[in-house]
Amino acid sequence: MARTALVTGANRGIGAAIARQLAGRGIDVIAGVRDVASAEGLLADIARSGRQGDAIGLDVGNLRSIRSCVAALKRKGRVIDILVNNAGILTGEKLLEMDGAEVLEAIRVNALGPLSLMRTLGPAMAARRYGRIVNVSSQWGALAHLGPGAYGVSKALLNAITVKVAGELPDCVKVNAMCPGWVKTRMGGEGAPLSPEQGADTAVWLATLAGNGPTGGYFRNRKRLSWLD
Ligand SMILES: NC(=O)c1ccc[n+]([C@@H]2O[C@H](COP(=O)([O-])OP(=O)(O)OC[C@H]3O[C@@H](n4cnc5c(N)ncnc54)[C@H](OP(=O)(O)O)[C@@H]3O)[C@@H](O)[C@H]2O)c1
């Protein structure tokens, strides 16, 4: 039976490329998106690859929305084998110039939302003895290269969460963080050298790791990164 992946923020940018590439590898894809209508084009592409595509409303910065997404998955009888925490926001230039609400929003969307999804879906993956969790982080989450505003702090927290969750789940559930590189998307801007398809590659590799693949790691271009620099 085909595996099923939940990809957050799959309506555009790197998330859409990850979703398309997973479908191309024979995986059914559920797009967790704030606006379900925005995933229409993606769902048509997934259908063209002969896989099942679905979109479910999901705001990863909102616990209630996460709960209702998980309830919808249950109602539809959808079992998640692969979770790609891709949705993210880049906010603020200087941490000291951001107010608490803005900082908290970055932490909610980039780190706590992914943790809630891992907490909900991870144990069920462990019970089924198969799971792949990919946290789309950034090299700007490494301590020596922290990105601007609350972004770097939130990605460093996502990295720390990746290590902890990987340690708490059995090895059959692989939990890894990755950096897509500098990618031409709304977030990355026009000057970025990589296409969303190139940026998606390492995430798709981690989402489809073999049983002897790594867990608790941090990768870019399919190679290990240091958590520090
Ligand atoms: N682009 C780069 O150079 C780069 C570099 C390093 C890491 N990254 C990481 O790669 C990931 C994808 O980035 P991208 O470049 O593709 O960015 P993007 O084009 O700005 O897309 C961001 C995606 O996240 C979704 N999103 C934002 N807040 C959300 C929320 N609260 N709930 C659900 N979805 C939400 C957006 O949905 P809406 O359409 O609803 O806004 C959109 O689908 C992010 O985690 C980012 O930090 C990107």
Exactly one of 140, 151, 218, 219 is catalytic; name it: 151
Ligand 1 center to 10 CA (angstroms): 9
User: With a 6 A CB cut-off, is 149 part of the ligand 1 pocket?
Assistant: no
53 bridge partner residues: 29
Tell me the domain boundaries of the chain.
Answer: 4-224
Ligand 1 pocket member 200 (CB < 6 A):
no
Q: Which atom of ligand 1 is nearest to the CA of 140?
A: 6
Buried b (16+ CB within 10 A) or exposed e, 138-152: bbbbbeebbbebbbb
Class of domain 4-224: alpha beta
The encoded tokens of residue 101 equal 């609400």
Separation of alpha carbons 163 and 190, rounded Å: 33
Distance of alpha carbon 47 from alpha carbon 66, whole angstroms: 25
Find out whether the beta carbon of 176 lies less than 6 Å from any atom of ligand 1: no
The reply to whether ligand 1 has any atom less than 6 angstroms from the CB of 150 is: no
| Residue-level pLDDT, tens digit, the chain, 229 residues | 899 999 999 999 999 999 999 999 999 999 999 999 999 999 999 999 999 999 999 999 999 999 999 999 999 999 999 999 999 999 999 999 999 999 999 999 999 999 999 999 999 999 999 999 999 999 999 999 999 999 999 999 999 999 999 999 999 999 999 999 999 999 999 999 999 999 999 999 999 999 999 999 999 999 999 999 8
- Atom 44 of ligand 1, residue of closest alpha carbon: 88
Within 8 A by CB and 6+ apart from 37, the residues are none
Residue pair 131/123 in contact (Cβ under 8 Å)? The answer is no
Structure tokens at 60: 């990863």
Q: Is-catalytic flag, 151?
A: yes
Instruction: Please name the residue whose Cα sits nearest to atom 1 of ligand 1.
Output: 188
Which atom of ligand 1 is found nearest the CA of 85? 45
Instruction: Please give, one letter per residue, the 3-state secondary structure of the chain.
Output: CCCEEEEECCCCHHHHHHHHHHHHCCCEEEEEECCHHHHHHHHHHHHHCCCCEEEEECCCCCHHHHHHHHHHHHHCCCCCCEEEECCCCCCCCCHHHCCHHHHHHHHHHHHHHHHHHHHHHHHHHHHHCCEEEEEECCHHHCHHHCCCCCHHHHHHHHHHHHHHHHHHCCCCEEEEEECCCCECCCCCCCCCCECHHHHHHHHHHHHCCCCCCCCCCEEECCEECCCCC
Quote the ligand 1 centre to 141 CA distance (angstroms).
15
- Of 118, 131, 124, nearest in space to 162 by CA: 118
**Residue located nearest, by CA, to atom 40 of ligand 1:** 34
- The reply to whether ligand 1 has any atom less than 6 angstroms from the CB of 217 is no
219 touches 179 (CB < 8 A): yes
158 within ligand 1 shell (Cβ under 6 A)? no
Q: How many CB atoms lie within 10 A of CB 85?
A: 30
pTM above 0.85, yes or no: yes
